[in-house]
Structure 1
Amino acid sequence: MVEIDINRLIDFIKLYFPEDATEISDALDLLNLALDGLLSSTNTTIVEFLKNKDYDKGMELLEFSKSVSEIQDKINEYSTSISIDAEIDEEEPEEEPGEIEERRSIPNYSNYLVDSSIPHTLYEDFTHKKVVAFSFNNNRYPAKDWKDALLQTCDLLAEIDATKFSEFINDPVMKGRKISYFSKKHLDRKNAKMKNIEVYVWTNLSANSIRKLIRKLLKKFNIKLTDYYVYLRADYTPLHVHKNEEV
């Protein structure tokens, strides 16, 4: 009964308050990342208890860990269900317009360029924004689009621990409502192969969904989200606002 009520609530929010739905999905995603950190700490403590032959406490924490994991699965389910991005991401791929096409379709193109030296955090909204680079471990990497930024980030993390990265294929946290963000199978125009390991990354995602996925990846590698920055090339938000006003 509670499940039905929650699903109805989610549908209601998405229908009448899509912006709030995005905010809630974002908050749930961050909560899940925090619980992921809790699980990591719990597992470390379990190992210590077992080393000290304190088996009762070890088993107690093991049950606690299972409960947290179940809560995570449920939160991930709700976060994906309420996400507006998820519905878009799992349909047709977003095409990045070329420079020539952009110049033809967007009036006063230069008016939408932004300062590419300003760092942006992974807590920001990147709707209608174009990436030009990202920084990681104090190094800046140019990126032609959001998909490129995601793939490069995955490759950099795989260089740290390829085995750990490969485990994401079966990690429930790394799955959407209908898709797996990491796979052994290639799907044309949907995912792309990583550089040094046999893993395909789902790239058919919006800017904000890529931001969310990168946050999950960093958390899995115990890297602070504030150690990763994004740099923008352009912000087309005013253009879309004007279009909506005309409609």
Structure 2
Amino acid sequence: MGKIEEVYAYLNENEPEIASNICYASEMLLSELDRALEVLKTRRKQAVENDDDKEYEKLTRYRDILGVYKENINTYLDYVNLPETSKTTAPSPDREIIHHLSEDFTYKKITAFVFRGKRYEVTSWKEALITFCNELTKINRNFPFALIGNPQFRGKEFEYFSYTPIAERSEKIQGTNVYVYTLMSSNYITKLLKNILSFLGESLNEFHIYLDETYLPQKREMPKRTEKAKVPPNGKIGKYVQQCMRELEKEQHVFSENQIQLLSDAEYSKLIFGIYHPFWTDDVKKIQDKNNRFRYWKEPFLFNNKYYYITNDWYEKSREKFDAWLEIIKNQ
């Protein structure tokens, strides 16, 4: 047992509430590390495009550092079980809340899932993914092989299903020589589960998830500094737009192809928002104008598995139009 596990075991026995909070905070950190790694990917790509070897090497080193950090946290969370004294009595199955894959599972702890009417008890999202793949292989022997090389199951730097394992980041599917990538946050895992079910023609509504309801973030008091970080609706328009779009990004909102094209059009953006540049662009070379002034925020936003730079060309007169558009988007 490593040092951190020893500390947790001690706290688990003597200070169960603190031990539970450490576990919760670790999952929060894990989610933010995912975002940081995505940003580093984008900037490494920019460094390649700019032929900046020094910057590329530096960012690669940063990526590796965060990768090791993330692996350590995952190892810790795999070891951790919430202390029994900090939990309430588990509800009977007929009183449990059923959750679906379309929900946001940030900072939430899975306890079980149901697939094709059968319930599987698990202790982590990673275990849920592995268990699902193992069980699906028993039903359909060819399932994992059909996903290898499929663009739908390929990340920017790796494939989710592969014959080649990635040390500490992938697990072998039972009875096969195929490995599934597991070093992901809860929302990335549920997104992968949705893609698998859709690919196989399975109903998403028949896949149920059960959570440790005592582990939900709304039942824990968040630090005040997090609350202060939010920009009020009457705050500066630029920061307000950024915050709203980051929230959409966090919710993994999916835009239609038509919406993506319209938001990339200058005339549409002027009509809908009253701004003078396209709402966003996926071309990093366009974030500066001919006078080298930045017309788009440098930090990209991830939507539909692609990065977009959103314009910083916002005026107070655009607030009402942006709010009207945002309400439509959220209610779709």
Q: Same fold per TM (> 0.5)?
A: yes
Deviations 1:148-192 (A, max 9, x none): 110111112222222242121111100112221011112221000
Q: Give the TM-score, by structure 1 length.
A: 0.56
| Unmatched runs of 5 consecutive residues or more in structure 2 | 1-33, 42-62, 230-332
Task: Measure the CA separation in 1 of the matches of 2:166 and 2:138.
Answer: 24
Q: CA, structure 1 residues 148+201, in 2 after alignment: closer, same or farther (shift >3 Å)?
A: same
Q: CA 1:85–1:109 in structure 2 vs 1: closer, same or farther (change >3 Å)?
A: farther
Residue aligned with 1:129, SS: coil
Distance, in Å, in 2 between the alignment partners of 1:179 and 1:239 is 36
**5 Å matches for 1:185-204?**
185-204=164-183
Identity of aligned residues (%): 27
Partner residue, 1:155: 134
CA distance in structure 2 between the partners assigned to 1:228 and 1:238 by the alignment: 24
Could you say which residue in structure 2 is the equivalent of 1:209?
188
Q: Distance in 1 between matches of 2:100 and 2:193?
A: 11
Name the aligned partner's letter for residue 210 of structure 2. Answer: Y
Structure 1 position 245 matched with structure 2 position 227: yes
How far is 1:144 from its partner?
A: 1.5
Paired residue for 1:141? 120
Distance change (3 Å), C-alpha of 1:97 and 1:165: closer
- Alignment equivalent of 1:87, drawn from 26, 35, 38: 38
Structure 2-normalised TM-score? 0.43
| Aligned partner letter, 1:110 | K
Q: Name stretches of at least 5 consecutive residues in structure 1 with no aligned partner.
A: 1-82
What is the identity, as a one-letter code, of the residue corresponding to 2:38? Answer: E
Greater C-alpha Rg = 2
2:99 corresponds to: 120
Does 2:87 align with 1:110? yes
How far does the alpha carbon of each residue in 1:35-60 deviate from its partner, in whole angstroms, 9 at most, with x for none? xxxxxxxxxxxxxxxxxxxxxxxxxx
**Contact 2:112-2:211 within 8 A present in 1 as well:** yes
Judge conservation of contact 1:86–1:209 (CA < 8 Å) in 2: no
**Distance in 2, Cα, partners of 1:85 & 1:140:** 35
**Aligned-partner residue type, residue 229 of structure 1:** H
User: How do 1:212-223 residues align onto structure 2 when only pairs under 5 Å count?
Assistant: 212-223=191-202
The corresponding residue for 1:166 is 145
1:47-98, Cα deviation, whole Å (9 max, x unpaired): xxxxxxxxxxxxxxxxxxxxxxxxxxxxxxxxxxxx9497289843352264
Name the residue aligned to 2:254. Answer: none
SS in 1 for 2:210: strand
Moved more, 91-100 or 183-192: 91-100
Cα separation, partners in 2 of 1:114 and 1:127, compared to 1, 3 Å: farther
For the 8 Å contact 1:192–1:202, the answer to whether it is kept is yes
User: Could you say which residue in structure 2 is the equivalent of 1:182?
Assistant: 161
Aligned residues: 161
Asked if the contact 1:183/1:201 (under 8 Å) is kept, the reply is yes
8 Å CA contact 1:85–1:208 kept in 2: the answer is: no
Matched residue SS, 1:154: helix
**1:209 and 1:145, CA in 2 relative to 1: closer, same or farther beyond 3 A?**
same
Q: Whose relative contact order is higher, 1 or 2, with alpha carbons under 8 Å and at least 6 apart?
A: 1
C-alpha distance after superposition, 1:81-133 (max 9, x if no partner)? xx949728984335226446x55xxxx9437x888722100011100000000
